[in-house]
Structure 1
Amino acid sequence: MLASLLEMGYQVRFGVLEAGAFGVSQSGKRAFIWATSPQETLPEWPEPIHVFAGPGLKITLPRDVQYAAISSTGGAPFRVIAVRDTIGDLPPVGNGASKTKMDYGNDPVSWFQKKIRGNMLVLSDHISKEKNELNYIRCQRIPKRPGADWHDLPEEKVKLSTGQMVDLIPRCLPNTANRHNQWKGLFGPDVPSMHYDC
């Protein structure tokens, strides 16, 4: 796309912006491509508001022309909004919980939680998809620390309630990790909704 736009005579700027640098409590990279005629001025990228490690991206075009994407790394006036700032005030839910209305059970502890709650006194739809027995065991075996994921699982077998012995680490994950960003976060506490059945 960049090569085509340049060939048509446009000035081009591309970048990868990290949602976390703009107040989202998770990593979410989005690519942006801006193009305009040579007579116009391309605007500057927005400045990051929150400190958040961003991606690096370089693209090599034909004739070995290299372009580097802007990066939303560096300093910013506010610290990162962590997951605990967003949902740390929510009561725990069990595997397969389906109660659609419940009390918060405590006061918000961050300004972000206060903003999200607004005037709501009751928590709605705080539910959990039911994981199968094996994935539930896997999630339970991951350390409860930031960054932990399936890489922290021990290489061992576990016995299911059916008596079947199965690998704790799904065989497909190590074999496909290079194609899928190492399956980063899978089964980890940072990504509570992620699950995977091989």
Structure 2
Amino acid sequence: MFKCIDLFCGAGGLSEGFRQNGFDILLANDFDSWCEETYRRNHSDTHFISGSIQEISAAQILSLLDMKAGELDCIIGGPPCQAFSVYNHQRGLHDERSGLFREYLRLVEGLLPKYVVIENVPGMNSVSDGAAVDEIRQGLKRLGYNVDVDMLKAEDYGVAQERRRLIFIGNRIGKPIVFPEPTHGKDRLPYVTVWDAISDLPPLENGAGEEECPYTVLPKSDYQKRIREGADKVFNHVAPSLGAINLQRLKHIPEGGSWRDIPIELLPAGMKRARRSDHTKRYGRLRKEGFASTILTKCDPHWGAFFHPEQDRVITVREAARIQCFPDKIRFNGSRGEQYKQVGNAVPVLLSAAVAKTVFNSLS
């Protein structure tokens, strides 16, 4: 097992992908207390340092792990992306969160791991003409790292979701930078669909469900067999309660449909003036044989296609987690809103796993 730490770990999407592919996650950090509870619950063997990364030193980490600088195999992490997200209309480098990648670089300088992996949103490329991307590349080069960055499509690695992620990979051991080859798509494995991911989960009415419930059917796809390994029940499978107006709207939306299918008198006031080409995903009902749109920190139908393909309700935290490739044995802590946020902020586990395999092969 290679030695790894995860900074800005959140609920552990990156950690889980690396853990499944030959890495021992020795230490993790996040300032969010609910992420900490979820992470500790599901990764009990990992040292967890809570609190702001600005208050953590490389010396503290080395002391905790009884290591010297240069002995760590890999640091992974996703500095908060909200400052670069297209969903943040005030995004930019003026946002204090946009500079947190510098704290990551500070710890890389003190720890000198063999490999570094940084994940962020594609918007990092466009804010201030990609200044943050350039600063990360130049910062790692100054520390002696060969580094490259690429945009990866989650669906190309078996994720039932259209999600793009900017991935930086760097090493200081003289190896070429290799990004994972797509595994799914034309002339490869078939894409994983929404129905491949969630069709075996117990059916629910609007506002119904339980934090723990039994499986009611056998797995219906290879994806479901894999995701259920090590689990004997379903966690976090509760449908949020939609109000009467949203239930009225939903009755008009077919599978794969959206706000365009809702009679104009039922549309929110602001959307009655929208052009047919605008807001393509809003009030969308997922298509069974398609991909989900990007899982956000709120599965709010006003912002995307988050209605269940068959049932008149919003997808549950567990269904969102399935689309993010979290194994069913992983349980999310906190209020329903906190659970959705943890899932939405995560890196899809199978995308993380694809990157982990390339790093593992290089280190091996």
Query: TM class, shorter-chain normalised?
Result: 0.5 to 0.7
Question: Which one-letter code corresponds to 2:158 in the other structure?
Answer: G
Q: Could you tell me which residue of structure 1 aligns to residue 203 of structure 2?
A: 92
CA contact (8 A) 1:21 1:49 kept: yes
Which residue, 113, 118, 123 being the options, matches 2:229?
118
Q: Could you tell me which residue of structure 1 aligns to residue 300 of structure 2?
A: 194
Which residue, 235, 251, 258 being the options, matches 1:149?
258
Q: Displacement of 1:25 after TM fit? A: 1.2
CA contact (8 A) 2:137 2:148 kept: no
Q: Could you tell me which residue of structure 2 aligns to residue 18 of structure 1?
A: 153
Gaps of 5+ in 1: 52-74, 158-166
Q: 1:94 to 1:45 in 2, by over 3 A?
A: same
Q: Could you tell me which residue of structure 2 aligns to residue 61 of structure 1?
A: none
CA contact (8 A) 1:142 1:152 kept: yes
CA RMSD of aligned residues (A): 3.7
Bigger relative contact order, structure 1 or 2 (CA pairs below 8 A, ≥6 apart)? 2
Q: Could you tell me which residue of structure 1 aligns to residue 267 of structure 2?
A: 168
Give me the whole-angstrom Cα distance separating, in 1, the residues matched to 2:177 and 2:243. 49
| TM-score where L is the length of structure 2 | 0.36
CA contact (8 A) 2:147 2:169 kept: yes
Q: 1:5 to 1:109 in 2, by over 3 A?
A: closer
Gaps of 5+ in 2: 1-130, 287-291, 304-364
Between 1:81-90 and 1:13-22, the stretch displaced more is 13-22
Question: Which one-letter code corresponds to 1:171 in the other structure?
Answer: G
Q: Could you tell me which residue of structure 2 aligns to residue 27 of structure 1?
A: 162
Question: Which one-letter code corresponds to 1:127 in the other structure?
Answer: V
CA contact (8 A) 1:16 1:31 kept: yes
Question: Which one-letter code corresponds to 2:281 in the other structure?
Answer: G
Question: Which one-letter code corresponds to 1:139 in the other structure?
Answer: L
Question: Which one-letter code corresponds to 1:87 in the other structure?
Answer: I
Q: Could you tell me which residue of structure 1 aligns to residue 337 of structure 2?
A: none
| TM-score where L is the length of structure 1 | 0.62
Instruction: Note the 1:45-64 alignment, pairs <5 A.
Output: 45-51=179-185
Give me the whole-angstrom Cα distance separating, in 2, the residues matched to 1:119 and 1:36. 34
Secondary structure of the residue aligned to 1:151 is helix
Q: Displacement of 1:110 after TM fit? A: 0.5
Question: Which one-letter code corresponds to 1:123 in the other structure?
Answer: V
Deviations 1:65-90 (A, max 9, x none): xxxxxxxxxx4521111111111111
Instruction: Note the 1:62-81 alignment, pairs <5 A.
Output: 75=186, 77-81=188-192
Task: Count residues in correspondence.
Answer: 158
Whether 2:248 is the aligned partner of 1:137: answer yes
Question: Which one-letter code corresponds to 2:196 in the other structure?
Answer: D
Structure in which a larger fraction of residues adopt helix? 2
Give me the whole-angstrom Cα distance separating, in 1, the residues matched to 2:228 and 2:138. 50
Secondary structure of the residue aligned to 2:251 is helix
Q: 1:46 to 1:7 in 2, by over 3 A?
A: closer
What is the percentage of aligned positions where both structures have the same residue? Answer: 24
Whether 2:177 is the aligned partner of 1:43: answer yes
Question: Which one-letter code corresponds to 2:261 in the other structure?
Answer: D
